[in-house]
Amino acid sequence: MSPEQLRHARVLVVGDVMLDRYWFSSVERISPEAPVPVALVQREQDRLGGAANVALNAATLGARTTLLSVVGNDDAGRRLAQLVADTSIRSALHQIPGLRTTMKLRLVSRQQQLIRMDFESAPDHEVLLDLMDRYEQELEGHDVVLLSDYGKGGLGHVERMVQLARARSRKVLVDPKGRDYSRYHGATMITPNRAEFALAAGDWRDESELERRAQAMREQLQLEALLVTRADEGMSLFTAAGALHVPAQAKEVFDVSGAGDTVIATLAVMLGAGAALDEAVRTANRAASIVVGKLGTASVTPAELWPQP
């Protein structure tokens, strides 16, 4: 697979978008009012978060990427829409009056988070129903659907989304959330991390038990594949053909924020470009090893994945 081939991928990203806001500060003293550090904010930075970061990762790799989601008609929503407009992502964001756009505010000092503050509200049922017509329209122009579930309410009709996409022979990749994965029944692949999979399937004592639990879930949900991302233990792919374990490649882990976004976006782009599943997984593993060496939510470029000699 070459970087040029990735441009043929057409990826539709649907899910919970959010604004990642960073306040970079210096801490030199303790407050006289309470035993807490005094952070002097010196610089601010806004980044795309959640499904928006997934879309950014896909677009950075060269795929023709559409982002379908809802935001509020508030400062965070307008800022998020502006950030999307500054990229090559094709925006299908719907601004909803009264909805509070999800924002994660991180206070950072010396490249370490001091605190994270979250602001959010869930969209109502009717708002999500209104998105379904647009979703069906967008399916016609895309090969791969990527459903990014952050548990913020944006995928309230995910079962129907999976059914509609699979009925049109589209590949459906899901970044899951919660204990109950039955709503992802029939998807092509789900990509839980180690903790998420343990929450849904139970913990395991050894590799053979992990494989039994993963294959049982894959068969129950009628998935083509299940990928468990395991941080420093790499990734484990489970299909009808068996298990494929890919060791981690990261030499230095700086920040794991958004690594799962990079993994599923890379998988979607590779599959959309026609890559075999094992090649897509190995490339996604390499992408993850690159992105964890960066601060905060970040993306990977084709040049980083395939450096020239």
Please tell me which residue in 75, 206, 261, 278 is annotated as part of the active site: 261
Tell me the residue length of the chain: 309
Domains of the chain with bracketed CATH = 3-19+48-102+121-300 (3.40.1190.20)
pLDDT digits (tens, 9 = 90+) for 117-160: 999 988 877 778 888 999 999 999 999 999 999 988 888 899 99
The overall pTM is greater than 0.95: no
Q: What percentage of the chain reaches a pLDDT higher than 70?
A: 96
Q: Could you tell me if 284 and 173 are in contact, meaning their C-beta atoms sit under 8 angstroms apart?
A: no
Long-range contacts: 247-253, Cβ < 8 Å, 24+? 248/285, 248/288, 248/289, 249/285, 249/286, 249/288, 249/289, 250/288, 250/289, 250/292, 250/293, 251/289, 251/293, 252/293, 253/292, 253/293
At 72 the three-state DSSP class reads strand
Residue-averaged pLDDT of the chain: 92
Handedness of CA 30, 32, 36, 41 (dihedral sign): negative
261 an active-site residue?
A: yes
pLDDT for residue 154: 85
Average pLDDT (207-228) is 97
Strands 17-30 and 37-50 come out as antiparallel
pLDDT digits (tens, 9 = 90+) for 239-297: 999 999 999 875 565 556 678 899 999 999 999 999 999 999 999 999 988 888 776 66
Tell whether the model's pLDDT for residue 67 goes beyond 80.
yes
pLDDT for residue 250: 58
Q: Which two tokens stand for residue 29?
A: 């003293």
Tell whether the model's pLDDT for residue 307 goes beyond 90.
no
Q: How far is 80 from 93, CA to CA, in rounded Å?
A: 10
Q: What percentage of the chain reaches a pLDDT higher than 90?
A: 78
Q: Which two tokens stand for residue 249?
A: 């490649």
